[in-house]
Amino acid sequence: MDMSANPISSSAPLLDVSGVTLQYKTKEHLVTATYRIDFQVFKSDRYVLLGPSGCGKSTLLKAVGGYLTPTEGEIRLKGNVIKKPGPDRMMVFQEFDQLLPWKTVKENVMFPLLASHKLSGKAAEDKAMQYIEKVKLAKFCDHHPHMLSGGMKQRVAIARGMAMEPDILLMDEPYAALDALTRRKMQDELLQLWDDTHFTVLFVTHSIPEAIKCGSRILLLSPHPGQVKAELASVPRDRIDGQEAKALEAHIHAMLFSDEIEEETHHG
């Protein structure tokens, strides 16, 4: 794959997914979610996994998170094979119940720092507050999660992920459960945060505009089972509202849904 388009990438990839086939069992079937997926994420990439529902993108993200073991191929982070979940790959989930309800906002952000013995006491608190301020929730740091709106909860989850300063931040459709207005705001905020710290993020979405807006690289997956269709560079941020973005959107749309139309005409 052509990596020269990414100016930030220097030498070795941060995350190397090679030939990964993922299968899981339901009660009655063995399902192949993805088939021989290859891709590489470099430092400070905003890497998006994009595909229709059922293309195994969430399953792939869970495998990077360490919750699933590939039946074939391997996933390496900084050269080490991923075997189990760990705080070097913080996850941000789609669900609002990812915050621990018995902890306040501040405690929620501090908890992984303490649990993984990365920081302790005052240092953890300072780090937590620093990121809570970044997501503009300092006023709410002593609130419990049930008092927050959905968007605020997601911001806490993002602050929590970023406070750990992980090698890579994994986001599983983090804005899918939000309303359209809040989602736009959150996308802008994510980009602002990225401008601040240049963190590496692997982001799953099924929204093409979101992929183009938030991503720097976009991996397109085909459905059932997921296979790599293309890896594209997104439109530069300053031209995100222009014709170029619209053209890319149309292009991606055509690539993702061309099979379906073919299939339909085939059947019809």
Partner 1 sequence: MDNKDAMLVSRPEIHRTTIASSAFGVVEKPLSSFERIYNIAALRKVAILILLAVIWEVGARLLNNELLFPTFIATNVAFFKGIASGELLIKVWASLKTLLVGYSIGIVLAALLTALGIASRIGTDLLETLTSMFNPLPAIALLPIALIWFGLGSGSLIFVLVHSVLWSVALNTHSGFLSVSTTMRMVGKNYGLRGLPYVAKILIPAAFPSILTGLKIGWAFAWRTLIASELVFGVSSGSGGLGWYIYENKNELEIANVFAGLFTVILIGLVVENLIFRVIENRTVRKWGMQN
188 CB-near residues (< 8 Å, 6+ apart): none
**Strand, helix or coil for residue 123:** helix
Assess contact for 108 and 156: CB atoms under 8 A: yes
Nearer to partner 1, 116 or 258 (CB): 116
Beta carbon of residue 99, minimum distance to partner 1 (angstroms, whole number)? 8
Pair of tokens at residue 16: 């190397």
Pair of tokens at residue 182: 């809040």
Q: Which stretch binds partner 1 (CB under 8 A): 23-31, 44-52, 97-105, 251-259?
A: 97-105
- Does residue 24 touch partner 1 according to CB under 8 A? no
Q: Of 55, 48, 64, 51, whose CA–CA distance to 233 is shortest?
A: 48
- Does residue 174 touch partner 1 according to CB under 8 A? no
In 10 A of CB 108, how many CB atoms? 25
Beta carbon of residue 104, minimum distance to partner 1 (angstroms, whole number)? 10
Q: How far apart are CA 68 and CA 85, in angstroms?
A: 9
- Does residue 102 touch partner 1 according to CB under 8 A? yes
By residue count, the chain amounts to 268
- Does residue 97 touch partner 1 according to CB under 8 A? yes
- Does residue 115 touch partner 1 according to CB under 8 A? yes
Beta carbon of residue 263, minimum distance to partner 1 (angstroms, whole number)? 29
For partner 1, which residue of 44, 98, 222, 234 counts as binding (CB under 8 A)? 98
- Does residue 95 touch partner 1 according to CB under 8 A? yes
Please give the helix or strand (H or E) that residue 249 lies within, else none.
Answer: helix 243-267
Largest CA distance in the chain: 67
Rounded to 5 degrees, φ, ψ at 65 are -65, -20
Q: Of 95, 93, 132, whose CA–CA distance to 111 is shortest?
A: 132
Q: Which stretch binds partner 1 (CB under 8 A): 45-53, 143-151, 198-206, 219-227?
A: 143-151
Nearer to partner 1, 97 or 179 (CB): 97
Beta carbon of residue 232, minimum distance to partner 1 (angstroms, whole number)? 29
Beta carbon of residue 257, minimum distance to partner 1 (angstroms, whole number)? 25
Binding track, positions 75-94, relative to partner 1; x by CB under 8 A: ---------xxxx-xxx-x-
Beta carbon of residue 59, minimum distance to partner 1 (angstroms, whole number)? 13
Q: How far apart are CA 15 and CA 90, in angstroms?
A: 14
Summarize as ranges the residues that interact with partner 1 (CB under 8 A).
65-67, 84-87, 89-91, 93, 95, 97-98, 100-102, 111-112, 115-116, 144-147
